[in-house]
């Protein structure tokens, strides 16, 4: 394949909680799995599904974040994170919130990009930020040489917050929070979604047909599952089951970053934006979607594969 048609690292991301340079010394193995998502778009859900498929059991022997670390985040020294990854003997599945143009690409690595209706992602992100302990930023400062600037306080009015958030989509500013930029993040993968080692997954599809999407993931990862195991695997990946094990499955539970671990799994439903966003916000949202994304991607991102018919 012409190398010019493959993804390449062309940007460096330095955000208030993560740095893409932490990938510099990562040594890929054949069949590594990279779970690539904007914030609050089904990251932990996809990690759990991969854990079920890889380990072929429903109970994990350590917190999910230990099996599947978020490599970019600054809560731990990168040498310690890489040391743990290098010591793993199972098939590795690693989390990232860095767009495709900021992480290494390997043809023998499997990439799962997860998208979600941006309006739903925003509502979930709002709850997520409100649940984060500010002390976590001091921990992050210990693992970087630059001075971190925590995000500015969010507006009290969620509509104002949404307007700022959506209009910043696809920004190229150095301090832009790309990890929460649903449009840019998914767009970086969509350009290459024809490649056989990139799978586009959608939050709404997981909700609509969890078993079907889990089987689709298993096929993509070339993992066989005994038919009799599917019912318990699907049950273990349900929202209620995962919420009941929040202290074991929520991200970074070993780093004490949450005010309330149980609140990480808040509701797991779509459409909550309808109670908050008004006509002005929705008009702005549709304008940004039309300006920043091609029609097929905008349709897929808002509705998912099953509802849009876009595979």
- Annotated catalytic sites, by residue? 97
Residue reference for tokens 């893409």: 20
Among candidates 77, 57, 52, 58, which has minimal Cα distance to 68? 52
Which DSSP symbol is given to 150?
P
Residue 8 has phi, psi (to 5 degrees) of -145, 155
CA distance 119 to 187: 16
CA distance 213 to 200: 11
| The two three-digit tokens of residue 7, written as one number | 């993804």
| The two three-digit tokens of residue 291, written as one number | 């300006």
Q: How many degrees, rounded to 5, is the angle at CA 180 between CA 219 and CA 211?
A: 25
Which DSSP symbol is given to 50?
H
């Amino acid at each position: 394949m012409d190398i010019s048609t493959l993804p390449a690292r062309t940007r460096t991301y330095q955000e208030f909680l993560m740095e893409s340079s932490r990938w510099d010394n990562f040594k890929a193995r054949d069949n590594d799995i990279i779970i690539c998502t904007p914030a609050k778009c089904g990251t932990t859900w996809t990690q759990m599904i991969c854990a079920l498929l890889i380990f072929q059991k429903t109970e994990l022997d350590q917190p999910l974040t230990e099996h599947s670390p978020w490599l970019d985040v600054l809560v731990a020294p990168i040498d310690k994170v890489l040391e743990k990854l290098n010591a793993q003997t199972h098939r590795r599945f690693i989390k990232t919130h860095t767009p495709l143009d900021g992480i290494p690409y390997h043809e023998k690595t499997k990439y799962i990009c997860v998208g979600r209706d941006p309006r739903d992602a925003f509502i979930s992100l709002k709850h997520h930020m409100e649940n984060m302990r500010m002390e976590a930023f001091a921990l992050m400062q210990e693992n970087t040489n630059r001075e971190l600037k925590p995000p500015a306080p969010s507006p009290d009015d969620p509509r104002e917050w949404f307007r700022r958030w959506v209009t910043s989509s696809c920004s190229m500013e150095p301090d832009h929070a790309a990890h929460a930029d649903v449009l840019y993040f998914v767009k970086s993968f969509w350009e290459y979604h024809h490649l056989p080692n990139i799978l586009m997954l959608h939050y709404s599809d997981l909700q609509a047909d969890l078993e079907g999407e889990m089987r689709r993931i298993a096929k993509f990862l070339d993992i066989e599952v005994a038919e009799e195991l599917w019912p318990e695997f699907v049950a273990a990946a349900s929202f209620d089951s995962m919420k009941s094990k929040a202290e074991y499955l929520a991200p970074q539970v070993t780093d004490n970053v949450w005010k309330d671990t149980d609140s990480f799994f808040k509701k797991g439903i779509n459409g909550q934006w309808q109670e908050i966003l008004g006509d002005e916000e929705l008009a702005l949202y549709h304008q940004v979607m039309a300006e920043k994304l091609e029609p097929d991607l905008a349709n897929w991102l808002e509705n998912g594969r099953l509802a849009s018919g876009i595979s």
